[in-house]
A and B are shown apart, each in its own frame.
Chain A
Amino acid sequence: MIGVMNLAIRSLWHRRLATAMTVVAISLSVALFVGVNKTREATRDAFGGAISRVDLIVGPRTGTLSLLLYSVFHVGSPTHNVSMKSVQYAASKPQVAWVVPFSLGDGFRGYPVLGTTPEFFERYKFRDAETIRFSDGKAFAGDADVVIGSDVAQSLGLKLTDKIVLSHGHTEDGDGFEKHDDHPFTVMGITATTGTPIDRTVFVSLVGLGEIHRGIGESIGSNTAHEPEDDHNHNHNHDMAQAVKADNDEHAQGSFAEKDGQIVVNSVSGFFLGAKNRMESLNLQSDLNTWKDEALLAIMPGVAMAELWKNLSIFETAMSVVSFSVVITGVLGLFVSLLILSGQRQREMMVLRAVGAGPKTIFMLLAGEAVCLVFAGIALGLGVMYGAMWVLGPWIEKKFAVTLALSGVGTYDLIFSAGLLVVGALVGVLASVKAYRAAMYDGLATKF
């Protein structure tokens, strides 16, 4: 029994090229499996952690997913608005602790612009009720102030007190520099990285958002005689002198009016709502959903997120199936290489038997080599994967807003690795049965 591991290691070293190839094959499958799993977890976390402590998201009556996608992930654009009257109605309800209205639809050099109130930064939480922090500056106060997400600041090289011009519409380009006659915004705050869509958002006040449209100077005209063209805006405010309509294309970002030179917010894309007691949110939801005056849709972020996740689970399952198949391929590769070897090693096993090696030693040697291979493969695979995550993590986070948790080897990884080690040992033994049987039952016969 002495030195069986020593024998196994020497034997593996003797066939180091084949050993290395087998180890690499296993490590690749392990890296892929762990990587896919990590990505899945990270994606789930990124999605699930994008919004917290908001009891209801209320918007115009559209689909649940569409409301969730544009309000939280800023994907897609709202096509309808919610009147400020509805916002006030919701805010006036005794069960409601706070409401934070928001308007979406404009962009700044590819980043979505969210018009909201400064209260947003206090109320909107992410992950486990984490508050949005500022790495620099503070929340916007005036209507010419802007707060930018960490990604926006980093990729556009913006810092505090920089002046930027927000374009109208969700544009991909536009130089973003101050132009004559434009309404410049001053960077007042830069949010700390959250790993959520907040990082990629530009925040202005609702009035500030209105200023953008006035600055562009489009669609301003008397509205005493007619409604603005898009009739789904519920801005029936006949007191206003001029209506500044958001846009003519499919997206709406709230509507504004100008009165005595002041921007008046008539409607918004939706609002976030916090209940005094979370138990009330179900009642509030049905209350708002059935409100007669305006067709509203109130959704619970958690429930909507689960629905979203259900929709994405097919993709998730497909990824898992693929990565698992790769692991099976790796194990099969191990099996084949050991099987080929076992024929060649009958002689060696017989020699070991002759010098006194017992069945246990032969078994330990064959299984030990397989375990060594699998162990090395797993270690290399995990090393490569975690190394890659460590190196590429910041880039991935920046590029895809997905934070790969580098919290060491997870329980799941450990269970998987242990399972693979057992399977590898079994495969090793199975593949070596021929050599083992030869060693046990052929005696000293010289079969070739």
Chain B
Amino acid sequence: MELTDVRFRYSARAADVLRVPHFRVERGERLFMFGPSGSGKTTLLSLIGGLFHPNAGKISVLGQDITAMNDSARDGFRAAHVGFIFQVFNLVPYLSILQNVILPCKFGRGVSTGFSSAEAEASYLLGQLGISDVANKSVTNLSIGQQQRVAAARALMGSPGLIVADEPTSALDADARNDFLRVLFEQAKREGSAVIFVSHDRSLAAQFDRSVALADINQVVVRGGL
């Protein structure tokens, strides 16, 4: 994953919110990123996921230049190769837990080798994440910790190559947080996925291969939080 001379602004007349001369994450690397609110973390993740198109520069993910793709190709690429985990409300309430986990497969995510079907892999992942017992529960009946694990299972489906986690543990207590990180890392390692983990909780940084401050990669000076 590599960003080169990327600039982004929300509208033509607005100021740049992001100016990244160079930022690189290796395959399989576990990166911890921190920074205050409003420093452009979410914007950066949206760019990496291909939800936004930079005003200038080049972004390549898993060796492919996503800035050269058209919108629908980028959506397809994201579905296939990037798994997201958010802070809260990761799940679609009207889908079952299993359906939530295999949701990316509806948009182009593959199934990891060794599994006969998306459902088989989803069951396996739920088992690995220690929540196979809730597979039949309604999404709305899950605890937040369980919800985050389901979200992790979805992100890990089909070994996406890059997992982007946006403060996924901030709603969890300390025990649940460490538990969550442990299983996430286990599975990411098994599948060879890189993890970009964003949080303002710097106590977690020690568990990662590398840690960066967003201020170090983004040249736009943040004037106060949002």
Which A residues have a C-beta under 8 Å from some C-beta of B?
A: 2-3, 7, 10-11, 13-15, 347-348, 350-361, 443-446
Contact = CB atoms under 8 A, between A and B. Distances in A.
Given A10-B95, A348-B92, A355-B84, 18 more contacts: A2-B106, A2-B107, A11-B94, A13-B94, A15-B94, A355-B109, A356-B76, A356-B78, A356-B80, A356-B107, A357-B107, A443-B51, A443-B52, A444-B49, A444-B86, A445-B43, A446-B88, A446-B166
B104 A356 contact: yes
A31 to B, nearest CB: 29
B136 interface: no
Greatest chain A CB density within 10 A among B76, B86, B94 is at B94
Given A443-B43, A446-B86, A358 B75 contact: yes
B94 A351 contact: no
B154 interface: yes
B49 A354 contact: yes
B91 interface: yes
Ranked 8 nearest A-B pairs via Cβ? A356-B79, A443-B46, A14-B94, A356-B107, A358-B75, A354-B84, A355-B104, A10-B94
B62 to A, nearest CB: 15
Greatest chain A CB density within 10 A among B43, B51, B84, B95 is at B51
A352 B92 contact: yes
A429 to B, nearest CB: 19
Interface string B57-71: 000000000000001
A353 B51 contact: yes
A348 B80 CA distance: 19
B88 to A, nearest CB: 8
A439 to B, nearest CB: 9
Interface of B: 42-43, 45-46, 49, 51-52, 71-72, 75-76, 78-80, 84, 86-95, 103-104, 106-109, 154, 166
Contacts of A361: 107
Contacts of A2: 106-107
Greatest chain B CB density within 10 A among A2, A3, A13, A14 is at A14
Given A355-B107, A356-B80, A356-B108, A444 B46 contact: yes
A14 B91 CA distance: 14
B84 to A, nearest CB: 4
Contacts of A15: 94
A356 B42 contact: no
Nearest to A355: B104
Contacts of B46: 443-445
Contacts, number: 80
Contacts of A350: 86
A350 B46 CA distance: 11
A15 B91 CA distance: 16
A194 B106 CA distance: 61
A348 B93 contact: yes
16 contacts: A3-B106, A11-B94, A13-B94, A351-B86, A351-B91, A354-B51, A355-B79, A355-B104, A355-B107, A356-B80, A356-B108, A444-B42, A444-B45, A444-B51, A445-B42, A446-B88
Nearest to B10: A441
Nearest to A353: B51
Given A357-B107, A444-B45, A347 B154 contact: no
Greatest chain B CB density within 10 A among A359, A444, A446 is at A444
Contact of B154 (A7, A355, A360, A443): A355
Given A443-B43, A444-B45, A359 B94 contact: no
Nearest to B46: A443
B145 to A, nearest CB: 18
Contact of B84 (A3, A13, A444): A444
B81 to A, nearest CB: 9
Contacts of A347: 89
Contact of A356 (B75, B86, B89, B94): B75
Nearest to B166: A444
A360 B88 CA distance: 25
A14 B43 CA distance: 32
A144 B46 CA distance: 96
Given A443-B52, A446-B42, A351 B75 contact: no
Contacts of A11: 94
A443 B71 CA distance: 13
Contacts of B43: 443, 445
Contacts of A3: 106
Greatest chain B CB density within 10 A among A348, A351, A446 is at A351
Nearest to A4: B106
B156 to A, nearest CB: 13
Contacts of B108: 356
Contact of A351 (B45, B92, B106): B92
Contacts of A444: 42, 45-46, 49, 51, 84, 86, 166
A351 B91 CA distance: 7
